[in-house]
């Protein structure tokens, strides 16, 4: 079957397109693997079509690289819309915010002469404080050989506080919360003693001072972002929800416990930004042409030794947030099916295909062999996953095709035949069209097939 034969109405998740190829009222970009799929670039590419760019979950554990006119930005908390004049960049209630780190990140933007006027922060977002970071490190030490490999940004402990109803929210900056500060400080100091990860250097006074500073710095950006977003939708504005991490790191559907502490699936957008499910339009799944993962936990298609190292170097697979080398392996369509099903992915943004240029043979995993049976769906039990061997379909590779910018200009049909066969197999397997083909980090290194499909 040719990709062209898939139309908006005969897909797994059919959708209706408007004039500019977007299903109103909003679009979402979700990482379909373990994060680091290239969502930053795709968000930036699609943000031209949106009025408001929204983050709904996670915190500065995320790292999005965006290249604009040869300037490289590494964003962790700020939605990438902040780089586009005239757009709003919204941090939703589901995000956990380290305001101390955010101040640094804001400087990166203002240093280039850009304005932060478009920033909006939910009054319901939770705060990440210094003791959360220390606890993150302490919990990892306490786990001994069973670490999760967190980013140590305090994300898990901040979400723990949220669920335990001890967290500080942005709106607390405007209230007298001295009793709550005293309680939390006592509690965290006791926990840190247990984890033996040093002292929490802060005092009640130093936290109150920080809250005052943050109120002064961030006050003008704070509002009820659910009201803002829903009114914008009522006014016919287009929203773009920028996912952080990836489906396999989702607290409910990922490789638990080797996950992050938020819902990275499309459902997390509703709870994390205060919009209803029927207001999410088309969901894009960002899928890297091979698999990577940072941190611990299972990865069935992982390539070990020199093969893995080669792919890591070729793809420049080092974490934006931690600098750690990412584990690399072949594309896993069992993982991709999990993501398509959970998020209603209607369109794929296939990224980093150029990294596979020059390979003689390329494998794609189409099932897991577990205890003599072939599984097509990602199992819940990690002991089952650890017994899985990948069932591969082998593809012939393709040669280098020269500068990606020129290849993108030549268009899809001029891509190497074997590369197109690889792409079309993925589309057919997942029943989802690859509408954006990314063959380099720049915007100009993208083949946009959406126009063909309207």
Instruction: Indicate whether 264 belongs to the interface with ligand IMP (CB under 6 A).
Output: no
| Least spacing, CB of residue 137 vs ligand IMP, in Å | 11
- Are 380 and 259 in contact by the 8 Å Cβ rule? The answer is no
> Is 269 within 8 Å of 83 (Cβ atoms)?
no
Distances (CA, A) of 284 to 17, 27, 30, 344, 395: 13, 7, 6, 9, 25
Considering only 21, 137, 149, 416, the residue that binds ligand IMP (CB under 6 A) is 149
**Binding-site member from 29, 32, 54, 62 for ligand IMP (CB under 6 A):** 62
Exposure of 108 by Cβ count < 10 A (0-12 exposed, 13-18 middle, 19+ buried)? middle
Shortest Cβ 444–ligand IMP spacing (Å)? 25
Options 294, 343, 348, 350; binder of ligand IMP; rule CB under 6 A: 294
Q: How far is the CB of 292 from ligand IMP (least distance, A)?
A: 8
Of 61-69, 335-343, 371-379, 412-420, which segment contacts ligand IMP by CB under 6 A? 61-69
Roughly what angle, to the nearest 10 degrees, separates helices 99-110 and 204-218? 30
| Out of 47, 61, 255, 291, the residue judged to bind ligand IMP by CB under 6 A | 61
User: Any contact of residue 36 with ligand IMP (CB under 6 A)?
Assistant: yes
Q: Give the N- to C-terminal CA distance of the chain in Å, as an integer.
A: 19
CB of 52 to ligand IMP, least distance (A): 22
Active-site residue flag, 132: no
Residue nearest to ligand IMP (CB): 295
**Catalytic residue flag (residue 36):** yes
Instruction: Between 327 and 442, name the residue whose CB sits nearer to ligand IMP.
Output: 327
CB of 155 to ligand IMP, least distance (A): 4
DSSP letter assigned to residue 375: E
Q: Count of residues binding ligand IMP (CB under 6 A)? A: 21
> What are 335's two structure tokens?
């993982």
Give the per-residue contact string, 153-182, with ligand IMP (x = CB under 6 A; - = no).
Answer: x-xx--------------------------
CA angle centred on 415, ends 425 and 46, rounded to 5°:
80
Distance CA 251, CA 294 (A): 16
Question: What gap in Å lies between CA 133 and CA 158, rounded to an integer?
Answer: 9
SS3 273: helix
Cross-strand bridge partners of residue 403: none
* Under rule CB under 6 A, residue 249 binds ligand IMP: yes
- List the x/- string, 104-143, binding to ligand IMP by CB under 6 A: ----------------------------------------
Distance of CA 6 to the CA centre of its chain: 27
CB-CB contact of 300 with 50 (8 Å): no
**CB-wise, 3 or 135, nearer to ligand IMP?**
135
Q: Which of 44, 64, 76, 132 is catalytic?
A: 64
274: phi > 0 → left, psi -120 to 50 → alpha, else beta; which?
left
- Based on CB atoms, which residue is closest to ligand IMP, 256 or 310? 256
* 26, 184, 197, 245: residue in contact with ligand IMP (rule CB under 6 A): 245
**283 has which bridge partners?**
28, 345
* Residues recognised as catalytic: 36, 64
Q: Give the interface with ligand IMP as residue ranges (CB under 6 A).
A: 34-36, 61-63, 148-151, 153, 155-156, 244-245, 249, 258, 260-261, 294-295
């Amino acid at each position: 079957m040719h990709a062209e034969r898939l139309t908006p109405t005969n897909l797994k998740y059919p959708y209706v397109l408007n004039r500019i190829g977007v299903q109103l009222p909003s679009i979402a970009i979700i990482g379909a693997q373990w994060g680091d799929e290239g969502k930053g670039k795709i968000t930036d590419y699609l943000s031209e079509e949106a009025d408001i760019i929204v983050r709904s979950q996670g915190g500065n554990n995320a790292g999005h690289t965006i290249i604009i006119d040869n300037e490289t930005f590494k964003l962790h908390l700020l939605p990438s819309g902040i780089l586009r004049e005239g757009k709003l960049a919204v941090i939703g209630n589901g995000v956990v915010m380290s305001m101390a780190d955010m101040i640094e990140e804001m400087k990166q933007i203002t240093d280039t002469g850009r304005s932060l006027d478009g920033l909006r922060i939910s009054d319901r977002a939770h705060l990440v404080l210094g003791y959360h970071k220390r606890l993150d490190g302490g919990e990892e030490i306490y786990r001994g050989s069973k670490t999760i490999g967190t980013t140590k940004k305090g994300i898990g402990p901040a979400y723990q506080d949220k669920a335990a109803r001890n967290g500080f929210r942005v709106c607390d900056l405007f209230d007298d919360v001295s009793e709550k500060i005293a309680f939390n400080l006592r509690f965290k100091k006791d926990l840190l003693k247990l984890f033996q990860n040093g002292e929490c250097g802060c005092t009640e006074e130093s936290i109150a001072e920080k809250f005052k500073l943050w109120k002064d710095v961030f006050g003008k950006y704070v509002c009820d972002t659910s009201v803002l977003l829903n009114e914008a939708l009522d006014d016919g504005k287009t929203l773009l929800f920028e996912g952080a991490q990836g489906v396999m790191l989702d607290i409910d559907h990922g490789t638990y416990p080797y996950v992050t502490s938020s819902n990275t699936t499309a459902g997390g957008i509703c709870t994390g930004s205060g919009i209803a499910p029927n207001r999410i339009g088309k969901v894009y799944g960002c899928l890297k042409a091979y698999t990577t993962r940072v941190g611990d936990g299972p990865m069935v298609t992982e390539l070990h030794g020199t093969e893995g190292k080669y792919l890591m170097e070729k793809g420049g697979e080092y974490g934006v947030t931690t600098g750690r080398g990412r584990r690399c392996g072949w594309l896993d369509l069992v993982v991709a099916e999990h993501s398509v099903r959970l998020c209603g992915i209607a369109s794929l943004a296939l990224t980093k295909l150029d990294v596979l240029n020059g390979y003689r043979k390329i494998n794609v995993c189409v099932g897991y062999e577990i205890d003599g049976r072939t599984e097509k769906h990602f199992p819940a039990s990690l002991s089952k996953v650890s017994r899985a061997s990948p069932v591969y379909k082998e593809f012939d590779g393709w040669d280098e095709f020269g500068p990606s910018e020129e290849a993108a200009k030549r268009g899809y049909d001029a891509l190497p035949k074997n590369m197109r066969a690889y792409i079309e197999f993925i589309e057919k397997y997942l029943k989802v069209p690859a509408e954006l083909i990314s063959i380099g980090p720049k915007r100009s290194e993208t083949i946009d097939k959406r126009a063909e499909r309207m």
